[in-house]
Structure 1
């Protein structure tokens, strides 16, 4: 995403914050809690809320971004492994290059699960900042989605919070800026 002026960034953050507050106030917060219950134990969620409500979601945002970045690193490792295997089998340079690029670009079986986990962390972080009355303008998860993915992705993520979180990767991939 191209660099924007501080004023433009502030305006985008304010618009995204308003959208999130409206969505979470209009039953979205309850929907997030309902979805969380499908994926984690009640005690785990309660412990997370107790731990993060007062201090925000900075570490959740960092973990989510690391998961998303790690997905790309795992694809690169898979591509290098394909290259080495084909080299061992005596294949030509162009065949190895083609296979390596193909493996790097084709979604791997775990891609969707990693994206769903990362997006679930971001949703949880936004909820924690909202529920903790910290103000979403300081929400690291919201800022991270906005800065790396754009306003349309923020809207898709928040709207998707009420749906099955396993579908979040598809929902986020189809957003148009």
Structure 2
């Protein structure tokens, strides 16, 4: 007789309903901003950083199939930035250990080094946030259901609705300032 399989863990129905409600509300916010002329502004801002040909190709390639690859790449960039900070902190702590500094000094130096902004932080964050905006844009112009938009869902899941609103409103301005508006250009000392 075969052993019974343990039941698969599923998200409780209430939690799933709450998540769906959060995403639907976020989708309404995005549509409200974008439909009031936001798509033209986003396309114009994007052309500041990439050629029109690159932007048109990206939109054409992703508007029908969604933004899943853009969402994954954006999250990988943001997570990679965090890993770099962690590695710098460990390296500084290790160095202080090699030169025989007391443990508290090593820990202090490690924590400071982990939180001090690296020279390329803002650029990595701006690239990731630009990818997220581009993904949301492609879903909108592709007439996709925004509740299925991977970029929108990722921002909501990881960072919350307030940060999504900042991202959408920030997309109407200079994309280089997105990290500052999102408070992720600096790790926070």
Normalised by the size of structure 2, how large is the TM-score? 0.86
Matches within 5 A, 1:134-173: 134-173=144-183
For 2:157 and 2:97, locate their aligned partners in 1 and report how far apart those are by CA, in whole Å: 40
**Structure 1 residue 100 and structure 2 residue 132: aligned?**
no
For 1:111 and 1:94, locate their aligned partners in 2 and report how far apart those are by CA, in whole Å: 27
1:157 positional shift: 0.7
Q: Which residue of 2 aligns with 1:11?
A: 21
For 2:92 and 2:152, locate their aligned partners in 1 and report how far apart those are by CA, in whole Å: 37
| Aligned residue among 49, 54, 62 for 2:64 | 54
1:131 positional shift: 0.4
CA RMSD of superposed structures (Å)? 1.6
Q: Which residue of 1 aligns with 2:86?
A: 76
1:122 match: secondary structure: helix
Q: Which residue of 1 aligns with 2:77?
A: 67
1:106 positional shift: 2.1
Q: Which residue of 1 aligns with 2:38?
A: 28
For 1:114 and 1:162, locate their aligned partners in 2 and report how far apart those are by CA, in whole Å: 19
For 2:63 and 2:111, locate their aligned partners in 1 and report how far apart those are by CA, in whole Å: 43
Q: What number of residue pairs does the alignment pair up?
A: 172
Structure 1: stretches of 5+ with no match in the other structure:
none
1:71 positional shift: 0.8
1:163 positional shift: 0.5
Structure of larger gyration radius: 2
Normalised by the size of structure 1, how large is the TM-score? 0.91
For 2:51 and 2:22, locate their aligned partners in 1 and report how far apart those are by CA, in whole Å: 35
> Which one has a larger percent helix, Structure 1 or Structure 2?
1
Matches within 5 A, 1:112-131: 112-131=122-141
